Amino acid sequence: MISCAPRDYDAIIAGGGIVGAACALACARAELRVALVERDVLGGGATGAGMGHIVVMDDSEAQFALTRRSQQLWQTLSASLPVGAEFETTGTIWVAADEDELAEADRKHAYLEHRGVPSQMLSAAELAALEPNLRARLAGGLLVSEDAVVYPPMVALHLARELKSLGSEVLMGHAVIHLSDGEARLDDHSILRAPRLVNAMGADATDCTAGLPIKKRKGHLAITDRYPGFVRHQLVELGYLKSAHSSTTDSVAFNVQPRKTGQILIGSSRQYGNDNSAVNHAMLSAMLERASLYMPAINSLNVIRVWTGFRAATPDKLPLIGPAPGDSSLWLATGHEGLGITTALATAELLACAFTGTAPPIAPERYRPARFDNSSQQGTILHQENA
């Protein structure tokens, strides 16, 4: 029960998804007294709806730096995760359907190799040997062996437990209705105060911070019954890179994941302008058809559940991590779109470094919200860099 007298902390984190939980724990480990406030249940937002693919991406140097750093932090964290977190270094195979996509795999291979990320080009025969349920006559692929999969809501819970063990507080079932000027007001009229407030409310971040450049991007997923060995790596079509980047049209892509349980998670779809969480049967059918185009035998598997979730998308496909313009107490950790599981740990690290004045391992500037603040000189410059 929260009392009505204002309570003081060093940092208040609004939103108990994987990003908020990771940020809260990183702050607590930096010896800040933290309150993590979650409206519903921990990990019940996009974190519970997401796929849990931890993947190094290379759309931009900024995206590469954040995903690679975070992937390394996941490798370290994995040793202490509970079994239920289902962490597994499956690797990703980027599947090339034709010669154009094979050329893209080759470009990606060179990019990763140059930056010290292990990856290996696969011939058509090697691809078929690694994943016999893929259809015949694919061109080949690229195996990125350090990519992994995880069950994200279990990790959010684990991080929150660690947070509590350090003496910080987790307040569940309380919505933040106001978050600014060093104060968080909750829907039960209680007031929390801290010199640092963090909006980590994912796709709902605009509820408390108006004007953020965030749009909801709906996604569907389906999970099958248990078929151990049917899929062995996270498999993603290289065409995904085109469809995931379209900022106007609805899209589906072949993206399947083996779970430790033997289940197969089938994705994925992307839609703007649809804030209704109901399953859209046309999108779902298109997604499953795409999957069966690459893996015909997937049609014979039993799908036991389908669901949707909302990614928090920004215009430049990079998250908002850093101080919010116009309020010296407010910080943002949101806008992670389809990479928030991957990048949660590096996000938390950047935030904790900023709060403690420690040098961060990767340059934080390109994730700063000020890049969209047209009123500031800095915002204009950063916006051009990211264009």
Structure tokens of 337? 């779109």
Question: Considering the rule CB under 6 A, would residue 28 count as an interface residue with ligand FAD?
Answer: no
- Taking CB under 6 A as the binding criterion, the range among 84-92, 108-116, 161-169, 304-312 that sits at the site for ligand FAD is 304-312
170: left (phi over 0), alpha (psi -120 to 50) or beta: beta
Collapsed DSSP state (helix, strand, coil) of residue 348? helix
Question: Considering the rule CB under 6 A, would residue 322 count as an interface residue with ligand FAD?
Answer: no
Structure tokens of 301? 């598997």
Any residues with CB less than 8 A from the CB of 80 and at least 6 apart, and which?
A: none
Site string for ligand FAD, 41-80 (x = CB under 6 A): ---xxxx-xxxxx---------------------------
CB of 116 to ligand FAD, least distance (A): 21
Q: Binding ligand FAD by CB under 6 A: which of 133, 209, 243, 268?
A: 268
How many residues touch ligand FAD under the rule CB under 6 A: the total is 43
Single-letter residue type at 204: D
Question: Considering the rule CB under 6 A, would residue 315 count as an interface residue with ligand FAD?
Answer: no
Is the separation of the CB atoms in 311 and 268 below 8 Å? Answer: no
Residue placing its CB nearer to ligand FAD in the complex, 173 or 228 = 173
Distance, first Cα to last Cα, the chain: 47
Residue placing its CB nearer to ligand FAD in the complex, 97 or 313 = 313
Q: In 3D, which of 153, 166, 270, 291 has the Cα closest to residue 222?
A: 291
Is the separation of the CB atoms in 175 and 185 below 8 Å? Answer: no
Q: Which residues pair with 306 in a beta bridge?
A: 222
CA-based max dimension of the chain? 68
Which backbone phi and psi does 285 adopt, to 5 degrees?
-65, -45
Site string for ligand FAD, 158-187 (x = CB under 6 A): -----------------xx-----------
Question: Considering the rule CB under 6 A, would residue 320 count as an interface residue with ligand FAD?
Answer: no
CB of 333 to ligand FAD, least distance (A): 7
Residue placing its CB nearer to ligand FAD in the complex, 39 or 259 = 39
Cα separation of 297 and 266, whole Å? 13
Q: Binding ligand FAD by CB under 6 A: which of 91, 140, 141, 202?
A: 202
Q: Binding ligand FAD by CB under 6 A: which of 11, 12, 13, 17?
A: 17
Site string for ligand FAD, 334-373 (x = CB under 6 A): x-x-xxxxx-------------------------------
Which 3-state string (H, E, C) describes 286-346?
HHHHHHHHHCHHHHHCCEEEEEEEEEEECCCCCCEEEECCCCCCEEEEECCHHHHHHHHHH
Site for ligand FAD in 92-111 (CB under 6 A): none
Question: Considering the rule CB under 6 A, would residue 325 count as an interface residue with ligand FAD?
Answer: no
Binding site for ligand FAD (CB under 6 A): 14-20, 37-40, 44-47, 49-53, 175-176, 200-204, 207-208, 219, 221, 267-268, 309-311, 334, 336, 338-342
